[in-house]
Chain A
């Protein structure tokens, strides 16, 4: 593969990456960028070129020892549900944007501690970045079969560095508030995580199944090699202890590495995403490790005695078989692993540098008096410069010190350095007594020990093990031998350094914390961190502060960083949250904390405190007073919560009552209306009876024929009255549930025929033609036949009344559907207006609607039909799908198919 060709592929690859970031940034609120999978895959930034190439190297040289780096995280990840959730909550409410912020805030906004953590991280991570650059450069030369160049202008790594610095500084510093989410970067990193895994699996499958005949074949061939047995067993207790310390180290690393803190905490936008991560991320690590062993030993067999660098077996094997495509694929995977680490680490470190070192120790003074635009620009620029500086620094280390250490060793040294943060970090989560002094001493002592036991010997050169310093200790004092400090001689160099540095670190941290009380601010944050679950919604309440402060002064400070618009919005939210009158001029503790929080994302915790302190007058509080106030506020929070709960409960009940009352009032109105209409309807026949009887009574010389007519009127009106009463009672029975339905198996077409028979005379009188094609068909259903006849009778007599005067026509259709049996009755009359479709089923609809009175009888017929059908669990409605006339449809459940009976 030619250099130009590979460069072209790289350029293409990097531009795709830019595009993904661009795309994700634009859709920063869409599901594609905010899901637990993106989150989980972005965590796989843990797997750098070290995993990608280095693990194979370790597996080839020393067998199983590549595993602890993955076992540690896999063991600790299940606890994320508790620990990581807690860290995320603390960081979210306090707007923490890096591990330096986290530790410095917990130990009382300590400026020094923030800077110390930053320095430690830079110390640990920059060489690690150099290593990634080295891996890119080495593998590039392997793929192109060229030699590395001494001229920085012809060294491809130079350009890769520039591209990465540009990418990271563009997408990494988009927001002045460093606690904002950077969806572009995260999505790109997640994509790369997927790619590197897929490419690694492809080469793994290639080596295992195409170069060899599966795992068994490799095992058989490798087992005859020298030392195979020894390398591939854990061995004795000593190795067990070595393993143990390496596992502990990687457990810490998964929390503490700046890039892990960044992806897992700063970029987390939903706590629930952890739920997916706790299974997906370990699965990812396991998948990554399946083929490490076959590739390593496959390479060992293939290149036996050739003295090749085993780190690069995954490239050398496909190249050996002249498979250019696979070689490039593997190279791209390794490239992905390297650059995502570089990008995320440099962003995380640059934020720490600016927020915890440069601003609080450098230009905080000048920020105080500048405008918001200037400040934002300066902060962002300081981060951009930070990213460039870090990458250039890493590049310089890579260029100047020819790193001939393997990927793993430098990676592990970096872990040990970062591991020094563990005691103060985990102490922050679980231990209230941990103090700033303890944390600082612990970290410094731990770091010095690692400096002595690892960095110095590594600098001298592990290869020159003849060095007197290493062999016999300084000035010949054997107890001070850097690799066997105090005579501890059974640990390998890394576990040895882990043990001693953390041992002294923990002792210093705890001893000093217990012996010297911290100040009240530390104690205040200790409570907040440890009891974060209690303070999660109203964390400002947990902040203790006494003194004099004016909102206007603080507002001025906020405006310099947030601008007027955002400051105003933030203050409105604050006032709403705590129900504070916006005209109040003095600030309380909650507002101080709120303001510090707003600034934290921009300039870090320490600077935020410095800036706010500069405009307020704080009174000293004693530690006991802090504890008392905290206790009170804790009680207050509980009482408040109870009160809110009760008041919510009461609100709910009162709402229910209101609704019930409204319902009653409605029912009352309905009842009144009903009674009104009923009395009116009853009065009409009574009126007729009354009038006729009076005439018959008073008038003796009434002609015989008329006399009979009046008597006939009295009879028919009495019948009418009776029918009306029957129907009202019927309806009342249905509505109150007193009416029973007696279901039995019937044939619906028979029932229709029966009904038609009883209406025969009426139909004949109006000369209506009936169309009923389903007569004689067997369509069985369960229903109360008497009641359904009532319904059909009603619908048919309506249809008869309304069908057109000349050539009236009624059609009846029965359809058996899957769930229901449907009966349609259609007439060719005037039809019904669509707006009346529902109202016609109301009681006395017609009489209420004065203009269309009484074409039918009581005005109760359809209301009763509806009740009957609904009691059968069916439906009844009107429709006008047919062009002219009106159609009524009712359904009954089809128990033949649903088998409910």
Chain B
């Protein structure tokens, strides 16, 4: 079973994502911000990480930087899922090494397809 880590501080969005990915046979981990995510990543090596950008404490960009430093997480695919839709935000996200940049609001079905395409 593939593992996925969802990092977002909006509980209602997280709920939809959790339901959908579980239904598509993913093992789902949830973090409410970057700090919690890094905490989970100490013990888990998910295949995919879905990252929001604007979160309290540690934001998405900073979280990705930390992930990229960790040798164990090299194989992880990272998807930014954010409402920041400016070109410079997208560029920044991709330049940090994200595999995909998905804009909110998003289609759940399409997101699942994109994630499956990645792995």
Query: Chain A residues in contact with chain B, CB under 8 A?
Result: 676, 679-680, 683-684, 686-692, 694-695, 698-699, 706, 709-710, 713, 716-717, 847, 850-855
Q: Which one of A690, A698, A852 contacts B106 once the chains associate, using CB atoms below 8 Å?
A: A690
**Known contacts A680-B84, A688-B12, A690-B106, A853 near B54 by CB under 8 Å:** yes
Are B19 and A850 interface neighbours, CB within 8 A? no
Interface contact tally, CB-CB below 8 A: 76
Pick from A683, A709, A851: contact of B15, CB below 8 A. Answer: A709
**Nearest A residue to B13, CB-CB:** A688
A368–B70 alpha-carbon span in the complex (Å): 89
Sampled A-B contacts (12; CB under 8 Å): A676-B86, A680-B83, A683-B105, A684-B13, A684-B104, A687-B83, A687-B104, A690-B105, A691-B12, A692-B16, A713-B15, A853-B54
Whether A852 lies near B56 (C-beta < 8 A) is yes
B10 close to A (CB within 8 Å):
yes
Q: Select from chain B the residue with minimum beta-carbon distance to A846.
A: B56
A134 to chain B, nearest CB (A): 97
Chain B 56-90 against A: per-residue CB contact (8 Å), 1 yes, 0 no? 11110000000000000000000000011010000
Interface flag for B20 (CB, 8 Å): yes
Residues of B within 8 A of A694 (CB): 16, 107-109
Add 19 more A-B contacts to A680-B83, A680-B84, A688-B12 (CB < 8 A).
A676-B86, A684-B83, A686-B104, A687-B13, A687-B83, A687-B106, A688-B10, A688-B13, A689-B105, A691-B108, A692-B15, A694-B109, A695-B16, A699-B23, A716-B12, A850-B54, A850-B55, A854-B9, A855-B56
Q: What is the CB-to-nearest-CB distance from A706 to chain B, in angstroms, rounded to a whole number?
A: 7
Complex CA distance for A716 and B105, rounded to whole angstroms: 17
8 Å CB contacts to A: which residues of B1-37?
9-10, 12-13, 15-17, 19-20, 23
Contacts of A709 in B (CB 8 A): 15
| B84 neighbours in A (Cβ, 8 Å) | 680
Tell me whether A851 and B109 are in contact (CB under 8 A): no
B54–A847 CB distance below 8 A: yes
- Please name all residues of chain B whose beta carbon is closer than 8 Å to the beta carbon of A690 when the two chains form the complex: 105-107
Docked complex Cα distance between A683 and B58 (Å):
21
> Which of B12, B17, B57, B105 has the largest count of A CB atoms less than 10 A from its CB?
B12
Closest CB in chain A relative to B61 CB, distance in Å = 9
Taking a contact as CB atoms under 8 Å apart, the answer to whether B17 and A691 are in contact is: yes
* Closest A residue to B104 using CB positions: A687
Interface size class of B (residues with CB under 8 A): 20 to 34
A858 and B40 alpha carbons, distance in the complex (Å): 29
Contacts of B57 in A (CB 8 A): 851
A676, A698, A706, A716: the one within 8 Å of B109 (CB): A698
Q: A688-B12, A695-B20 are in contact. Are A853 and B105 (CB under 8 A)?
A: no
Q: How far is the CA of A694 from the CA of B20 in the complex (A)?
A: 10
* A698 contacts across to B, CB distance below 8 A: 108-109
Most buried by A among B16, B17, B59, B83: B16
Nearest CB in chain A to that of B84: its residue: A680
Residues of A within 8 A of B59 (CB): 850-851, 853
For chain B residues 91-119, which have a beta carbon within 8 Å of chain A? Answer: 104-109
B107 to chain A, nearest CB (A): 6
Residue of A nearest to B110 (CB): A694
Given A713-B12, A713-B15, does the pair A851, B107 have CB atoms closer than 8 Å?
Answer: no
Residues of A within 8 A of B15 (CB): 692, 709-710, 713
Please give me the residue from chain A that is nearest to B58 by CB atom. Answer: A851
CA distance A706 to B54 in the complex (A): 27
A509 to B104, CA, bound (A): 101
Query: How close is A337's CB to chain B, nearest CB, in angstroms?
Result: 86
Q: Decide yes or no: A695 and B108 within 8 Å by CB, A709-B15, A717-B12, A853-B9 being known contacts.
A: yes
Query: Chain B nearest CB: distance from A140 CB in Å?
Result: 96
Interchain CB contact under 8 A, B56 and A684: no
Give A689 to B13 CA distance when docked, in angstroms: 8
Residue of B with least CB distance to A698: B109
Taken together as a complex, chains A and B put the C-alpha atoms of A706 and B12 apart, in Å, by 12
CB contacts (< 8 Å) of B12 on chain A: these are 688, 691-692, 713, 716-717
Chain B residues within 8 Å of A855, by CB: 56
Looking at A676, A686, A695, the one whose CB has the most chain B CB atoms below 10 A away is A695
Residue picked from A676, A699, A851, most chain B C-beta under 10 Å: A851
**Chain B residues near A699 (CB-CB < 8 A):** 23
Cα(A717)–Cα(B104), bound, Å: 15
Residue of B nearest to A847 (CB): B54
In chain B, what residue has the closest Cβ to A848?
A: B54
Chain B residue with the shortest CB-CB distance to A683: B83
Listed from nearest, the 8 A-B pairs whose CB atoms lie closest are A691-B16, A690-B105, A683-B83, A688-B12, A687-B104, A687-B105, A713-B12, A853-B56
- A152-B10 Cα distance, complex, nearest whole Å: 111
* Most B-side CB within 10 Å, residue of A686, A713, A850: A850
* Alpha-carbon separation in the docked complex, A679 to B108 (Å): 21
Taking CB atoms, residues of chain B closer than 8 Å to A683 are 83, 104-105
Q: Given the interface contacts A684-B104, A686-B105, does A691 sit within 8 Å of B54 by beta carbon?
A: no
Distance (Å) between the CB of B68 and the closest chain A CB? 19
Nearest chain A CB to B2 CB, angstrom units: 20
Give Cα A793–Cα B44 distance, bound, in whole angstroms. Answer: 44
Docked pose: A850 CA to B15 CA in angstroms: 23
Which one of A676, A684, A847 has the highest number of Cβ atoms from chain B below 10 Å of its Cβ?
A: A684
Residues of B with C-beta under 8 A to A852: 56
Contact indicator A684/B19 (Cβ below 8 Å): no
B118 CB, nearest partner CB in chain A, Å = 19
Cα distance A167–B75 in the bound complex, in angstroms: 99
**Closest partner residue, chain B, to A680 (CB atom):** B83
- Set of chain A residues within 8 Å of B17, measured between Cβ atoms: 691
| Chain A contacts for B9, CB-based, 8 A | 853-854
User: Are A695 and B19 touching (Cβ within 8 A)?
Assistant: yes
Give Cα A847 to B17, complex, Å: 23
Contacts of B23 in A (CB 8 A): 699
Asked if residues A691 and B13 are in contact (CB atoms below 8 Å), the reply is yes
| Residues of chain A with a CB closer than 8 A to B55's CB | 850, 853
User: With a CB–CB cut-off of 8 A, which chain A residues contact B16?
Assistant: 688, 691-692, 694-695, 710, 713
For the complex, what is the distance from the CA of A695 to the CA of B16, rounded to whole Å?
7
A283 to B108, CA, bound (A): 98
Taking CB as reference atom, which chain B residue is nearest A691? B16
Q: CA separation between A680 and B82, bound complex, in Å?
A: 9
Complex Cα–Cα for A686 and B55 (A): 17
Q: Which residue of chain A has its CB nearest to the CB of B55?
A: A853
How far does the Cβ of B55 sit from chain A's closest Cβ, in whole Å? Answer: 6
Given contacts A699-B23, A706-B19, A710-B16, contact A691 B83 (CB under 8 A): no
Closest to B61 in A: A850
Max count, chain A CB within 10 A of own CB: residue among B53, B56, B84:
B56
Given A676, A680, A684, which contacts B10 in the complex, CB threshold below 8 Å?
A: A684
Q: Residue on B with the closest CB to A712? A: B12
In the bound complex, residues from chain B placing their C-beta under 8 Å from that of A850 are: 53-55, 59
A689 to B54, CA, bound (A): 19
**What chain A residues lie within 8 Å of B20 (beta carbons)?**
695
Nearest CB on A from B58, distance (A): 8
Q: How far is the CA of A112 from the CA of B104 in the complex (A)?
A: 99
* B10 contacts A687, C-beta separation under 8 Å: yes
List B contacts of A692 (CB < 8 A).
12, 15-16
CA distance A84 to B86 in the complex (A): 74
State A676–B10 Cα separation when bound (angstroms). Answer: 19
B34: nearest chain-A partner, CB-CB: A851
CA distance A709 to B16 in the complex (A): 10
CB distance from B111 to the nearest CB of A (A): 9
Residues of A near B108 (CB, < 8 A) are 691, 694-695, 698
The complex places the Cα of A691 from the Cα of B15 at a distance, in Å, of: 9
Scoring A687, A716, A853 by chain B CB atoms within 10 A of each residue's CB, the highest score goes to A687
Nearest-Cβ distance from residue B86 to partner chain A, whole angstroms: 8
Q: How far is the CB of A767 from chain B (nearest CB, A)?
A: 23
Give the complex CA separation of A852 and B55 in angstroms: 8
Chain A residues, Cβ within 8 Å of B109: 694, 698
The distance from the CB of B94 to the nearest CB of chain A, in whole angstroms, is 18
Which residue of the partner chain A has the closest CB to B57? A851
A686 to B106, CA, bound (A): 10
